[in-house]
Amino acid sequence: MTKQTIRLAGWASALLSLASTALADVKLNENFSVGGYAVGSYQYTKTDGSPATDRFDTDAIKTAFTASFKPVTGVVSLFYPGVAGDEVTVLDAYATYDAGEGYSITGGKFLSYHGYEAFDPVNMTQITYAAPTAGSMFSIPAYHSGIRLDYSDSAHSYGLALVDSVYSPYSIFKGDGELKDNAGFEGYYKYTGTKDLTIFAGVAYDSKGGFQSHSVLMLDLWAQYNVSSEVYIAGEVANSNAGMGIKSTSWLALLGYTPAGPVSWIFRLSGDSPKAAVGADKYLQYTVSPTYKLTDNLSIRGEYSYYDYKNSGSKSFFGVQALFKF
């Protein structure tokens, strides 16, 4: 039996074990609930001038526990990122107070406002991330700790957050843990008042100090329009400026096709135009990704992406991903 077969069998066994226990325990009682997912994939990459590489393994496992005692809701999640050397970590750990009239206050460790593409794989529409998240500057942040004030109604939502850091010297799963040497600020506005249209505008700012020799300003703008019940289009532009010539403008354009039936399609074009002191390369990424929904809880996703670099050739990516959620 090969190592890949052993790893696949282990992942499948873990997934079936998770499925057999979690589906029966989604709602514990009126105050407590649990949810999550397990995702695994086979991924193959071939870069010009280098041998092909492949990976058959777990991508991510997450279990989230929610306690609701109105007007307060608390969330704690455990997350395994499926990356060599990483272990199970506490991902979300926050409490939200519903202040009424559409306002809420949240404190703890939470996900950034920013990014069109979701953090959790089960909420994605393809396997890889586009340039705003995965480009030379990794412009879209992820998790950090702090406090935020949010407002939402049927047409508008906005929020402001003070966090330990927007970005992090450690990982995408936590900030730097302090405010003294540098602090982070986030804000956003989202408009949903026109039928089938969503517009998001956000800003993030990391002050100079600590692990950063220069302040960082990031602007994020995205929009989605539902052309029909089966077709939608979306676009995103992110601009990140870390000073001293380290800048990047990244973008994506996406067409989604969701006909009646189990199969949906994503066609995406993405690009990155870095102006960096280090050797980042401009590129375009072409992506096609179908998803087959076997049940409400289990889907199979495929993707082919072609990366065309300005100065360093090309790269091809192929992946098949299984996604179970509860």
Q: Note the pLDDT tens digit of each residue in 119-133.
A: 999 999 999 999 999
Residue type present at position 258 = T
CB-based contacts of 227, cutoff 8 Å, min separation 6: 196, 233
Band (pLDDT 50/70/90 cuts) for residue 21 is very low
**Residue 287, pLDDT above cutoff 90:** yes
What mean pLDDT do residues 265-273 have?
Answer: 97
What pLDDT is stored for residue 85 in this prediction? 63
Band (pLDDT 50/70/90 cuts) for residue 263 is very high
What mean pLDDT do residues 178-183 have?
Answer: 90
What mean pLDDT do residues 12-27 have?
Answer: 41
Q: How far is CA 226 from CA 200, 221, 231, 233, in A?
A: 15, 17, 6, 7
**Residue 7, pLDDT above cutoff 50:** no
**Residue 281, pLDDT above cutoff 70:** yes
In this structure, what are the phi and psi dihedrals at residue 229, rounded to the nearest 5 degrees? -70, -15
The pTM (predicted TM-score) of the whole model is: 0.89
What pLDDT is stored for residue 278 in this prediction? 64
Q: Please, what CATH class does the domain formed by 3-325 belong to?
A: mainly beta
What pLDDT is stored for residue 277 in this prediction? 61
Cross-strand bridge partners of residue 180 = none
What mean pLDDT do residues 32-40 have?
Answer: 96
What mean pLDDT do residues 264-288 have?
Answer: 91
**Residue 101, pLDDT above cutoff 80:** yes
What mean pLDDT do residues 294-323 have?
Answer: 96
What pLDDT is stored for residue 252 in this prediction? 98
**Residue 321, pLDDT above cutoff 80:** yes
Look over the chain and give the mean of its residue pLDDT values, rounded to a whole number: 90
**Residue 301, pLDDT above cutoff 70:** yes
Tell me which of 21 and 266 has the higher pLDDT. 266
The pair of three-digit structure tokens given for residue 299, joined into one six-digit string: 């889907």
**Residue 155, pLDDT above cutoff 80:** yes
